[in-house]
């Protein structure tokens, strides 16, 4: 499958079958924790049942303990009070246990969701990351997943507990007095309708809030990286960067305030109704008593107590519903990434790289056009064909933008050919597993990436099980061992972000040592020395010559002097191979290569 742009991928995935209900998708996240959920639900049910009993005991305490016909009955009162105290203690203990379980399950689900999203992003093709800001991706992992933490932690227990409590309280109210129950619940339909409207508003604000957070994260990542700081200081643009961040921060503050304030009048109104309903009950009870209905003082006290047990859990359910509506925007953003299909995947019958022609690389009439390019745009590579034998040193040279680097990206399948075949060890790369393909390829690029870690950790990234002796042997082969040992901490020297504590030549030689430790059958050198000074270039070139021995080497080069010894040189111009041969042959040909070589010699 050739890579499509992000919008095309979204459209394609939107057309695919999906779980129609967002709540079902959220519920699916809890499936691995079924036993813990069952225990939590059991505790919630027990706790909800217990919470309804004290109000019913209150009626008995009033009618049979405090105000019976013969005066207060202390033994009965003490018995009822003891039961109520015991129930409250049990309810509190169950609540602590339930909180522990919900927090554990919720955080495990959130952690699994974050890892699942990270893994999905790891599987996406290179083109996805060239179209998407790193900060935006980071925001999905951090802000969006973190934003649904409350829902994941509290939804199950809150929904079940409050639902059971509401049902039990409603039944208790009916038992106590059906007439007063009508008075207590008459306003509920209007509240539910208003709650839905508030939820829709909050969901829209939440979407804008997360987009703003993504922008802030992107600005932070771009501006506060070492490269970003160097750029802003070089052009004296620190104030501009601060202003850019400040503007987005102001928008974020406004959105946060709007999000917190949305629904406040709704809940204030609901609280007013909850507060005045007991007073209304007293008035209605008085009319009922006057009309001959048997309503005792204990019934009134118990009813208002139970009514609170109905209204406040009902308010809790409304808050959960609002949270779900609000977080639906966040879940939609998370599922949007989880639903993406990587443009480059293994076939179901893909096999590993075979050793019969290990190191052989060939292009068979390969055409490549970037997925987001306009149909009228000329292809980056157009019907390119060549073959490289095992152990051969091949170079690709030509003007900037000719398509040289694209050739090096198609071999390890970082990009997918639009047409034709890319062959590795005699097989179409689309018939090989990506894992086995990349295991046999080592890449040294112009922009060396080193982690903010020790030199030893950066080297062993290529081979985590490598011994100290193997790491040092690779460093020696790359002409960097002596340099490393000159540092006070040797191989434990921390290189800084992106290796900024090292020189360009030192970083490149560490990158070469890392590839040598991997020991691939094919080595791709993508402008590996173009950013170095002459002295560093010679040192690194010597390391590259060592790395190239005994393996197929494909060098993408701008400086032609670095590939004069290549077994074959392919000259790429405007997406096509226009010349091929050795250095002497191409000089004698007097074509593109000869002109480029003459120009570079004049410049040098």
* Domain spans of the chain, in order of start: 7-338
The candidate with the shortest Cα–Cα distance to 13, out of 341, 289, 326, 302, is 341
Where is 363: in which H helix or E strand?
Answer: strand 361-368
Give Cα 218 distance to the centre of its chain: 14
What number of other Cβ atoms are within 10 A of residue 259's Cβ?
17
Q: In this model, does residue 361 exceed pLDDT 90?
A: yes
Question: Can you tell me which residue has the tokens 């049979």?
Answer: 64
CA–CA gap between residue 594 and residue 441 (Å, rounded): 31
Per-residue pLDDT, 301: 75
Q: In this model, does residue 247 exceed pLDDT 90?
A: no
Per-residue pLDDT, 4: 39
Q: In this model, does residue 423 exceed pLDDT 80?
A: yes
Q: In this model, does residue 515 exceed pLDDT 80?
A: yes
What are the structure tokens assigned to 583, written together?
């250095």
The candidate with the shortest Cα–Cα distance to 211, out of 130, 144, 257, 131, is 144
What's the pLDDT tens digit per position in 307-335?
776 666 777 777 777 677 667 777 888 88
Q: In this model, does residue 235 exceed pLDDT 70?
A: no
Per-residue pLDDT, 385: 94
Over residues 445-470, the mean pLDDT reads: 86
Q: In this model, does residue 422 exceed pLDDT 90?
A: yes
Per-residue pLDDT, 104: 83
Per-residue pLDDT, 3: 40
- Percent helix, percent strand, percent coil in the chain, to nearest 5: 65, 10, 25
Burial (CB < 10 A; 0-12, 13-18, 19+), residue 74, is exposed
Per-residue pLDDT, 192: 64
Where is 368: in which H helix or E strand?
Answer: strand 361-368
Over residues 389-416, the mean pLDDT reads: 90
Where is 555: in which H helix or E strand?
Answer: strand 552-556
The candidate with the shortest Cα–Cα distance to 298, out of 552, 57, 592, is 57
Per-residue pLDDT, 533: 59
Over residues 212-232, the mean pLDDT reads: 70
Q: Is 361 helix (H, G, I), strand (E, B) or coil?
A: strand
> For all residues of the chain together, what is the average pLDDT?
79
Per-residue pLDDT, 363: 95
Per-residue pLDDT, 11: 41
The candidate with the shortest Cα–Cα distance to 393, out of 515, 567, 133, 254, is 567
pTM of the model as a whole: 0.70
Could you tell me which residue, 474 or 604, shows the higher pLDDT? 474
CA–CA gap between residue 458 and residue 513 (Å, rounded): 10
Q: In this model, does residue 469 exceed pLDDT 60?
A: yes
Lowest mean pLDDT among 301-305, 488-492, 556-560: 301-305
Q: In this model, does residue 18 exceed pLDDT 60?
A: no
Q: How many residues does the chain have?
A: 604
Per-residue pLDDT, 413: 92
Per-residue pLDDT, 264: 67
Could you tell me which residue, 316 or 501, shows the higher pLDDT? 501
CA–CA gap between residue 556 and residue 570 (Å, rounded): 10
CA–CA gap between residue 473 and residue 481 (Å, rounded): 8
Give the pLDDT band (50/70/90) at residue 17: very low
Over residues 92-98, the mean pLDDT reads: 83
Looking at mean pLDDT, say which of 51-65, 162-176, 455-469 comes out highest.
455-469
What's the pLDDT tens digit per position in 27-65?
788 888 888 888 887 887 787 777 767 767 777 787 777
Per-residue pLDDT, 375: 66
Question: Can you tell me which residue has the tokens 């997406």?
Answer: 575
Per-residue pLDDT, 166: 76
Sign of CA dihedral 259, 261, 265, 268: positive
Per-residue pLDDT, 316: 72
Question: Can you tell me which residue has the tokens 């709007």?
Answer: 258
Question: Can you tell me which residue has the tokens 């040289």?
Answer: 404
* 360, HSE (Cβ side, Cα atoms, 13 Å): 15
CA distances to 124, 380, 387, 560, 594 from 564, in Å: 37, 26, 19, 7, 12
CA–CA gap between residue 184 and residue 310 (Å, rounded): 9
The CATH architecture of the domain made up of 7-338 is: Up-down Bundle (1.20)
Per-residue pLDDT, 244: 80
CA–CA gap between residue 77 and residue 134 (Å, rounded): 67
Contacts of 246 (CB under 8 A, 6+ apart): none
**For the chain, what percent of residues have pLDDT higher than 70?**
84
């Amino acid at each position: 499958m050739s890579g499509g742009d992000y919008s095309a991928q979204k459209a394609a995935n939107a057309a695919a079958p999906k779980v129609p209900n967002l709540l079902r998708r959220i519920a699916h996240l809890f499936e691995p924790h079924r036993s813990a959920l069952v225990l939590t639900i059991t505790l919630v049910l027990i706790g909800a049942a217990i919470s309804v009993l004290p109000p019913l005991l209150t009626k008995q305490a009033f009618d049979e303990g405090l105000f019976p016909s013969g005066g207060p009955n202390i033994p009965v009162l003490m018995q009822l009070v003891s039961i109520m105290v015991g129930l409250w203690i049990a309810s509190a203990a169950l609540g602590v246990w339930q909180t522990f379980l919900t927090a554990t399950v919720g955080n495990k689900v959130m952690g699994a969701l974050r890892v699942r999203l990270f893994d999905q992003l790891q599987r996406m093709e290179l083109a996805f990351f060239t179209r998407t800001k790193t900060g935006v991706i980071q925001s999905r992992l951090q802000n969006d997943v973190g934003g649904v933490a409350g829902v994941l932690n509290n939804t199950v227990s809150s929904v079940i507990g409050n639902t059971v409590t509401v049902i039990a309280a409603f039944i208790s109210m009916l038992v106590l007095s059906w007439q007063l129950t009508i008075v207590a619940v008459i306003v509920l339909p209007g509240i539910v309708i208003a709650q839905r409207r508030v939820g829709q508003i909050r969901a829209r604000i939440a979407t804008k809030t997360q987009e703003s957070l993504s922008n802030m994260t992107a600005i932070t990542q771009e501006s506060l990286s070492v490269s970003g700081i160097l750029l802003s200081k070089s052009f004296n643009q620190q104030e501009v960067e601060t202003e850019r961040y400040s503007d987005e921060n102001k928008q974020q503050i406004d959105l946060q305030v709007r999000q917190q304030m949305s629904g406040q009048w709704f809940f204030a109104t609901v609280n007013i109704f909850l507060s005045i309903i007991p007073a209304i009950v007293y008035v209605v009870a008085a009319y009922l008593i006057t009309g001959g209905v048997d309503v005792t003082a204990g019934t009134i006290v118990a009813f208002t107590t139970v009514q609170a047990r109905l209204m406040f859990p009902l308010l809790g359910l409304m808050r959960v519903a609002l949270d779900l509506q609000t977080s639906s925007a966040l879940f939609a953003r998370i599922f949007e990434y989880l639903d993406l299909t990587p443009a480059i995947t293994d076939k179901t019958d893909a096999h590993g790289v075979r050793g019969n022609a290990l190191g052989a690389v060939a292009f068979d009439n390969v055409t490549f056009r970037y997925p987001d390019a306009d149909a009228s745009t000329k292809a980056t590579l157009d019907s390119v064909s060549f073959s490289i034998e095992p152990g051969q040193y091949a170079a690709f040279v030509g003007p900037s933008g000719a398509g040289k680097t694209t050739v090096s990206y198609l071999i390890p399948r970082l990009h997918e050919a639009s047409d034709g075949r890319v062959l590795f060890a005699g097989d179409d790369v689309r018939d090989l597993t990506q894992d086995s393909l990349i295991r046999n390829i080592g890449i040294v690029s112009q922009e060396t990436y080193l982690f903010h870690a020790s030199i030893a950790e950066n080297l062993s990234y290529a081979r985590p099980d490598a011994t100290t002796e193997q790491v040092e042997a690779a460093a020696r082969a790359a002409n960097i061992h002596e340099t490393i040992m000159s540092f006070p901490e040797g191989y434990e020297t921390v290189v800084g972000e992106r290796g900024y504590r090292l020189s360009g030549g030192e970083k490149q030689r560490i990158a070469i040592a890392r590839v040598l430790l991997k020991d691939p059958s094919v080595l791709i050198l993508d402008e590996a020395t173009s950013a170095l000074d002459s002295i560093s270039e010679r040192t690194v070139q010597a390391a590259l010559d060592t790395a190239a021995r005994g393996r197929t080497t494909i060098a993408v080069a701008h400086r032609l002097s670095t590939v004069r010894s290549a077994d074959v040189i392919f000259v790429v111009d405007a997406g096509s191979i226009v010349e091929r041969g050795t250095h002497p042959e191409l000089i004698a040909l007097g074509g593109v290569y000869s002109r480029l070589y003459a120009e570079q010699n004049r410049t040098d």
